């Protein structure tokens, strides 16, 4: 059905806050009041409690993960494996091809685990360098064939271990960003849970960067920040309030282009609805980029990230 008057006004206000793609989620009946709340929140300053609630929801054990969205959003999904370099196939990074509507897309994303075995196999969603190299390989494959790239970001950070360092964690994260900066296909990233630092930005140098309403995106975890600046990890809540990892603030700072609404009390309460809302936003974002020539996409993408920062 066509959007209502009221809805249009709301969505317009929302988009004015920072010219972001209108949120597909808003099209869904029953989402309007959430959208309204979201807009109100964007209006005023989120409280320390609201920010902390995002932190908790972003890390919620029942929150949908990358593959939960893949199975609901992509047809003909085919997962690709391996770094082709002999370091193996990283379980924390998922990469593959599938159809978003009629379009073939490449999807990359971190994947946490549900039970302890899977968490271990997937390193709690913290990729090794070989995981980023797998993502690079699949993104470049997409570039060769003109497939849009979608990345779903959900990681506490890149894996902090001896082998990961020896395999070249810093270089792999840099190389993955560089590969995305070179792509001439549409790229859309969405933070669906924890957007943890370098491990997150490695796959988030995209034409459109979205965040789910209760996701967080930050340069350091609240605990890490508190431990360093407050000398007390217990002050995590205070730290979070100080560096503001919530979607509303990331939108205000121009770090993201749009917020994807979540159903009910959060994505974990209704996977299908969360997937519908995410899917609509992803499709809208890809559609909006599909007609732009590749080199122009790349030029704008670089210009966008090169404009980030506040200095005088």
Partner 1 sequence: MAKIDVSVQTDDKPVPPPKHPNTCPSCHSHYRDDELEGALWVCGQCGHHFPMRARSRIASLADPGSFVEESAGLHSEDPLHFFDLRPYGERLAEAEMSTGLADAILIGPAAIEDRSCELAVMDFSFMGGSMGSAVGEKFSRACDSAAERGAPLVTVTSSGGARMQEGILSLMQLPKTVCAVEDLHDAGQAMIVVMAHPTTAGVLASFASLGDVLLAEPGALIAFTGPRVVEQTTREKLPDDFGLAAQNLRFGHLDAIIPRPEVRPTVARLLRLFDAPE
Contact call for residues 264 and 276 (beta carbons, < 8 A): no
Which of 129, 199, 258, 263 lies at the binding interface for a second copy (CB under 8 A)? Answer: 129
Calculate the CA dihedral of residues 137, 139, 144, 148 and round it to 10 degrees: 160
For β-strands 208-212 and 258-260, DSSP reports them as: parallel
Taking the complex as a whole, the smallest distance from the CB of residue 85 to a second copy amounts, in Å, to 5
- Of 50-109, binders to a second copy (CB under 8 A) are 83-87
Residue 127 binds a second copy, judged by CB under 8 A = no
Query: Which lies closer to a second copy via its Cβ, residue 120 or residue 166?
Result: 166
Span 147-186, contacts to a second copy by CB under 8 A: 166-168, 171, 175
268 binds, options partner 1, a second copy, none, Cβ within 5 to 8 A by partner type: none
Tell whether residue 143 is a contact of a second copy (CB under 8 A).
no
CB of 171 to a second copy, least distance (A): 6
Query: Does 122 contact a second copy by CB under 8 A?
Result: no
Residues in the chain: 312
Asked if 257 and 281 count as a contact pair (C-beta separation under 8 A), the reply is no
Contacting residues for 48 by C-beta, under 8 A, at least 6 apart: 237, 238, 240, 241
The pair phi, psi for residue 246, each rounded to 5°, is: -80, 160
Judged by CB under 8 A, the residue of 133, 134, 276, 298 near a second copy is 133
CB of 175 to a second copy, least distance (A): 8
DSSP output for 89-129: --TTEEEEEEEETTEEEEEEEE---SSHHHHHHTGGG---H
Instruction: Give me the residues that bind a second copy (CB under 8 A), please.
Output: 83-87, 129, 133, 166-168, 171, 175
């Amino acid at each position: 059905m066509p959007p209502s008057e009221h809805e249009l006004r709301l969505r317009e206000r929302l988009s004015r806050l920072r010219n972001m793609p209108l949120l597909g989620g808003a099209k869904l009946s029953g989402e309007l009041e959430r959208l309204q709340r979201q807009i109100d929140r964007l209006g005023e300053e989120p409280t320390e409690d609201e920010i902390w609630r995002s932190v908790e929801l972003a890390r919620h054990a029942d929150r949908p993960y990358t593959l939960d969205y893949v199975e609901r959003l992509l047809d003909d999904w085919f997962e690709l494996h391996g770094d082709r370099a002999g370091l193996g196939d990283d379980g924390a990074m998922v990469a593959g091809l599938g159809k978003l509507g009629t379009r073939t897309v490449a999807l990359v994303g971190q994947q946490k685990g549900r039970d302890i075995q899977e968490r271990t196999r997937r390193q709690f969603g913290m990729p090794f360098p070989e995981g980023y190299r797998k993502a690079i390989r699949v993104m470049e494959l997409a570039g060769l064939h003109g497939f849009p790239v979608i990345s779903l970001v959900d990681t506490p950070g890149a894996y902090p271990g001896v082998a990961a360092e020896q395999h070249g964690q810093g270089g792999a994260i840099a190389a993955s960003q560089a590969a995305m900066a070179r792509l001439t296909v549409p790229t859309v990233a969405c933070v669906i849970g924890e957007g943890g630092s370098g491990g997150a930005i490695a796959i988030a140098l995209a034409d459109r960067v979205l965040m789910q309403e209760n996701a967080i995106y930050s340069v350091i975890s609240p605990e890490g920040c508190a431990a360093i600046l407050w000398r007390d990890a217990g002050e995590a809540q205070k730290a979070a309030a100080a560096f503001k990892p919530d979607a509303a603030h990331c939108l205000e700072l121009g770090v993201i282009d749009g917020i994807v609404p979540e159903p009910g009390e959060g994505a974990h309460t209704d996977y299908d609805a969360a997937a519908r809302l995410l899917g609509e936003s992803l499709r809208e974002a890809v559609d909006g980029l599909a007609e732009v020539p590749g080199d122009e996409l790349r030029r704008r993408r670089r210009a966008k990230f090169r404009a980030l920062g506040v200095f005088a």
